[in-house]
Every structure is written in C-alpha cells, then in structure tokens.
Copies of this chain bind each other. A is one copy, B any other.
Amino acid sequence: MNTSFLDSTVTIARALGHPARLRTIAMLRGGELCVCQITAVLKLAPSTVSAHLRELRRAGLTAERKEGRWVWVGLGEDPETRPWIDNALAGVAGDEQMLLDLALVEEIQKLPVEDLCRLGYEAAREKRRSQVGATRSKERNAP
C-alpha cells in the first residue's frame, strides 16, 4: 500500500459519512447479512447498494464472504477500524431510523433468503404468511 495513515483515516471517515453506509454498519451489529437483505432494508437500487458496500469494504469497515450465489457482509475485524465502528454504533444508538432498520432486519431474517432476493420483501412475506398458515392448519388437523 502506498497510502498514508492520513489517507486511510480519511477513507474510513468518509465511508461512515453517508446515511446509507452508516445504517448498513448499524444493521450489521447483530451479525452477517446478505446483500439482498441489506438492499431490502435500505430500499435502494441493487447497484447503488453495491457501490456503498464497495466503499465500506475499501475502508476495511466490512468484510465479505461469498457463499454460492449470495454474498454475506459482516463487520470487519481490522483493529484499526474497530474503534470507528464502535463510535458509529454509539453515535446512532437510539436513532429512530436505525431502530426501524433493526426491526425490519428482524422481520427479514425470518424469510428464506432465496425468496427475499427473488421476490422482494413484500412478496416473500406474503408467501411465508400463506405457508405458515397452511402448516399451522395441518398441525391443528393432525395433532
């Protein structure tokens, strides 16, 4: 690397200096998320989310793991970036938007990833509702 401490610090700070990226960091506190899950929460075009994730990765704030068709994103382990992540998380603690995001993440994690990616959040949720309903009916009929 030919980049100075100054440059890398600027890169980290800049990466955190955007609502979508900061929200992404906050979302990942609870563990890895798939790119399409993040996209569903941010409600941005996949190409836009991809660009944001590239910046976070470049700054060392996140790490990505490819598993089949899906890419799982998690917080980076780099000791240099960790205090920045902690600051960011502390800074947005209690933020309204962030709480909404976390609640949506909870909901989204109940859905199979393949459905969420293919159908989008609303449709995947609808599909799950009907399936769960059918399962519960069967359970009631055959105890």
Contacts and interface: CB of A to CB of B under 8 A. Distances in A.
B87 A5 contact: no
Interface residues of A, number: 31
A123 B33 CA distance: 59
Interface string A1-30: 000111111101111111100110000000
A80 interface: yes
Interface stretch (A88-96, A102-110, A130-138): A88-96
A41 B15 CA distance: 26
A72 B80 CA distance: 32
A11 to B, nearest CB: 8
Contacts of A88: 9, 13
Nearest to A90: B83
A23 B13 CA distance: 13
Nearest to A6: B95
Contact of A4 (B4, B87, B97): B97
Nearest to A83: B87
A134 B17 CA distance: 53
A95 B13 contact: no
A137 B90 CA distance: 60
A98 to B, nearest CB: 6
A88 B8 CA distance: 11
Contacts of A90: 83
